[in-house]
Amino acid sequence: MNKYRQLGNTNIEVCTIGLGAMPLSLDGRPDEAQALDVIEAFVAGGGNFIDSANVYCIDDSDVGHNEKLIARALSKLEDAKNIIVATKGGLRRPSGGWTVDGSPEWLRQSCEKSLQDLNTDSIFLYQLHAPDPDVPLTDSVGELARLKAEGKIHHIGLSNVTVEQIQLALSITDIISVQNRCNLFEQTSFENGVVKFCEEHNISFIAHSPVGGHFQHAQRAEDRLLKKLAEKHAVSTYQIMLAWLLNKSPSILAIPGASKISSITDSLRAINVELSKEDMQLLEKQQGSGCA
Ligand SMILES: NC(=O)c1ccc[n+]([C@@H]2O[C@H](COP(=O)([O-])OP(=O)(O)OC[C@H]3O[C@@H](n4cnc5c(N)ncnc54)[C@H](OP(=O)(O)O)[C@@H]3O)[C@@H](O)[C@H]2O)c1
């Protein structure tokens, strides 16, 4: 399996396993030294794509925590310019909750703060975190297109979207990535055609929550068939889940979260796992029977 894939239609190649940086900044986050070590270990292990968001933080008084952390970690690295950082705007964290705000004003304000927090002049990939039901998608994406025209962002991505929403966004600007929840146990983006659409339009599909998600990964990792395959390949069940995703489509990138060094170093090893056709069939069958 190819360990690097082109990011959308850019000439940038990213490692198929990226770092989902969210657990470094939510409630229960590790101390700063450990968080910086996780990012450093990811880069040392060959990773070059980090996913962030302004709202990866505790609450609205802490917005930008994750981006500032990434900027601090990269400032210590010699080859930081080779690391692609993707961030997002379009949500808020009132009193620690999660709400959507895709208004052009909030997106602009968020992007300008992200530029400061990431300590950069231009963000390589800026993603709309989620469509806002109260704001026409064309207004939200239109503002991102203006931020791109002004040079504040290089490329635009979407998150938590359907094929129809991607098509609507594409009618006004170029989109290089789509980030939806996707893992062995939650396959909506395969079922509703989003992954296929991305393949056909040279858009990277970034699978978020790829090992089951922030709250469910530990339970998912105990799955019987995953354990059997992990034993066969002498790897972790997490690596089997990630290898399965990467095998499903040449457009997929996975961004497992990590708050521990051991988690991200283990996940990075998934790029070396070669699942057989039979392994893939077994995993598909189990998922299809609903007992996975
Ligand atoms: N666009 C969106 O709306 C959206 C929503 C959710 C997430 N995301 C993005 O997707 C990323 C991943 O999602 P997620 O963090 O919610 O869920 P996830 O990646 O499915 O699970 C993350 C948790 O799994 C554990 N883990 C991961 N790999 C492991 C391994 N190899 N061995 C042992 N434990 C492992 C980590 O535990 P430890 O913490 O103990 O290391 C981590 O906290 C996020 O970080 C974020 O960047 C985006």
Q: What is the pLDDT of residues 218-235, one digit of tens each?
A: 999 999 999 999 999 999
Average model confidence (pLDDT) for the chain?
96
Q: Which of 95, 97, 96, 94 is nearest to 106 (CA)?
A: 94
Helix (H) or strand (E) holding 280: helix 277-288
Tell me the β-bridge partners of 72: none
- 254 C-alpha vs ligand 1 centroid, how far in Å? 10
Structure confidence at residue 290 (pLDDT): 45
Ligand 1 pocket mutation, candidates 211, 244, 271, criterion most atoms within 8 A of CB:
211
Residue 192 has pLDDT above 80, yes or no: yes
Confidence of residue 287 (pLDDT cuts 50, 70, 90): low
Residue 143: strand, helix, or coil? helix
Nearest residue (by CA) to ligand 1, atom 32, is: 263
Distance in Å, CA 171 to ligand 1 centroid: 32
* Segment 38-60, tens digit of pLDDT: 999 999 999 999 999 999 999 99
Selection from 198, 225, 222, 221 nearest residue 267 by Cα: 221
Structure confidence at residue 285 as a pLDDT band (50, 70, 90): confident
* pLDDT band, residue 1 (cuts 50/70/90): low
Has residue 137 got a pLDDT over 60?
Answer: yes
Pocket probe for ligand 1: among 209, 222, 261, the residue whose CB has the most ligand atoms within 8 Å is 209
CATH of domain 4-221+237-275: 3.20.20.100
Specify the residue with its C-alpha closest to ligand 1, atom 8. Answer: 208
Confidence of residue 214 (pLDDT cuts 50, 70, 90): very high
* pLDDT tens digits along 236-283: 999 999 999 999 999 999 999 999 999 999 999 999 999 999 999 999
> In 3D, which of 72, 69, 80, 71 has the Cα closest to residue 26?
69
Give the distance (Å) from ligand 1 centre to CA of residue 63. 19
Tokens of 142: 């239109």
Is the pTM higher than 0.95? The answer reads: yes
Smallest CA separation from ligand 1 atom 10, residue: 208
Inter-residue contact 18 to 50 (CB < 8 Å): yes
Q: Residue 268 is inside which H or E element, if any?
A: helix 261-268
Pocket test for ligand 1, best of 217, 237, 238, 267 (most atoms within 8 A of CB): 217
Q: What is the pLDDT of residues 67-115, one digit of tens each?
A: 999 999 999 998 898 999 999 999 999 999 999 999 999 999 999 999 9
Half-sphere exposure (Cβ direction) of 30: Cα atoms closer than 13 Å: 18
**Ligand 1 pocket at CB < 6 A:** 20-23, 51, 129, 159-160, 179, 208-214, 217, 236, 238, 255-260, 263, 266-267
pLDDT for res 2? 73
Residues 88, 90, 93, 97, Cα dihedral to 10°: -110
How far does the centroid of ligand 1 lie from the alpha carbon of residue 136, in Å? 30
Type of residue found at 48:
N
- Residue of 208, 227, 235, 266 with the most ligand 1 atoms within 8 Å of its CB, for mutation: 208
Q: Which residues contact 183 (CB under 8 A, 6 or more apart)?
A: 207, 209, 210, 211, 212, 213, 220, 241, 245
- Ligand 1 centroid to residue 139 C-alpha, Å: 30
**What pLDDT score was predicted for residue 79?**
84
